[in-house]
Structure 1
């Protein structure tokens, strides 16, 4: 009997220890962030999926800048963009807009959609073109076709906004369509829980997709600005 009790105790401690270890690891990964001394400028990106946002609370929670979704594809406009833009501005946050690029729509059509909602604000951050496979259409066009559509988008947006477009590109999209193509645009990388390894030339780094910020309900994408840059340089 004592032998069985000892076995049960051992199993119990092993199970409890495992649960604690898993919980500890989950807590670590959910709260990990780059060194604040090395990367002092922290920012977020948002869309209508996050619901109503208390921007005064956000600005008080060590957030220096925000990018918000403005549009997607050829005709979708984010329903929260106007409200988010006004709220972030009133709270004193540096703010910018991004367009989610569809592989199934012409670049010019998408640029026109983006520009139809992009504010005429010389102080806004440089516009971002979100290039990724997640949530995109199933079409995977050849490289030269995608690059042409991206080029059409960039030409029209840069001419209108007077600022150089930044590419948000996770590793899979970067390696499939952008690497070695000489597009000469600044890059926003995505590398969760570790520093970006697929390129050294980045200005923004999305390091977390389940962050917590005061004033926002739900998981928030967290980003840092390259330590060599300032917010003002992000406006150019």
Structure 2
């Protein structure tokens, strides 16, 4: 029994050590010199000066989700990132439960025209609470409409931040010719299989300036 308890204690310490390591981990700057965060109102109040001092080079800031949610922290985060000297860009969380025109209107209402901003991002992931699963043709059609409207507003091509399960169901990478941003904790996606320019390397990172976990992203060279 004593040995079994000792074994469990060792396992617990190993798990704790792994968790502590994971929450601090970021890719090597030699391989990925430009690194930053994705934020929204879910992250609470952000100390942008501290965040910049901790090594964030850029921030992608959620402007809206679906057709109705305008992120209440967008304006403060947009201004805070600019004031701290970070590069900044706006993101929209796509919803299968809202029309493309409604989602574009929500985004364009929130995001000012800004030639200094990074290209806008459309995040494609299954939304909690939305059970709609249209066919591939319908999704690609709606997504193309959304892309055209946002690109017309921003004056630059969008990035598509595609989750693995969303891409597996709708084949976004092969159906729409846009630059990709992929998610893969701790292990970089294979660029030979799918070309990408952005990678969410750790979606559980803890860093000074933000309470709780934050998505830590890197740009490809």
Q: TM-score range by the shorter chain?
A: over 0.9
Does the 8 Å CA contact 1:70/1:99 hold for their aligned counterparts? yes
**Aligned match of 1:215:** 209
The answer for unaligned runs of 5 or more in structure 1 is 1-6, 228-236
Work out whether 1:108 is the aligned partner of 2:74. no
CA–CA separation in structure 2 for the residues paired with 1:83 and 1:45:
14
The alpha-carbon distance between structure 1 residues 87 and 216, as it changes in their structure 2 partners (threshold 3 A), is same
Selected match of 1:25 from 18, 37, 40: 18
Following TM superposition, by how much is the alpha carbon of 1:180 offset from its aligned partner in structure 2, in angstroms?
A: 5.7
Q: Is the 8 A contact 1:55 1:215 kept in 2?
A: yes
2: CA distance between counterparts of 1:44 and 1:222? Answer: 5
Alignment of 1:52 onto 2:48: no
Mapped pair 1:145 → 2:138 = yes
Q: 1:203 aligns with which of 197, 207, 216?
A: 197
Deviation at 1:50, TM superposition (A): 1.0
CA contact (8 A) 1:204 1:225 kept: yes
- TM-score of the pair, normalised by structure 1: 0.88
Q: Is the 8 A contact 1:102 1:136 kept in 2?
A: no
Q: How does 1:25-44 map to 2 (within 5 A)?
A: 25-44=18-37
SS of the aligned residue for 2:37 comes to: strand
In the alignment, the residues of structure 2 paired with residue 178 and residue 163 of structure 1 have an alpha-carbon distance, to the nearest angstrom, of 23
1:226 — aligned with what? 220
Count residues with an aligned counterpart.
220
Q: What are the equivalent positions in structure 2 for 1:180-191 lying under 5 Å apart?
A: 181-191=174-184
Superimposed CA distance per residue, residues 152-180 of structure 1 (whole angstroms, 9 cap, x where no aligned partner): 00111111211001101011111211346
1:35 Cα shift? Answer: 2.0
Shift of 1:33: 2.6
User: What are the Cα deviations for residues 188-235 of structure 1, in whole angstroms up to 9, with x where unaligned?
Assistant: 1000121224943111100111111221111111011002xxxxxxxx
The two structures have a TM-score, normalised by structure 2, of 0.94
2:71 corresponds to 1:87: no
For residues 51-75 of structure 1, what are the alpha-carbon distances to aligned partners after superposition, in whole Å with 9 as ceiling and x for unaligned? 1111111111110000010011112
Match of 1:131 in 2: 124
Q: 2:160: which partner in 1?
A: 167
1:116 alignment partner, SS class: helix
Measured at CA, do residues 16 and 150 of structure 1 come closer, stay the same or move farther in structure 2, by a change above 3 Å? same
Moved over 4 A (4+): none
1:13 aligns to what SS in structure 2?
Answer: helix
1:197–1:167 CA distance, 2 compared to 1 (3 A): same
Runs (5+) with no aligned partner, structure 2:
none
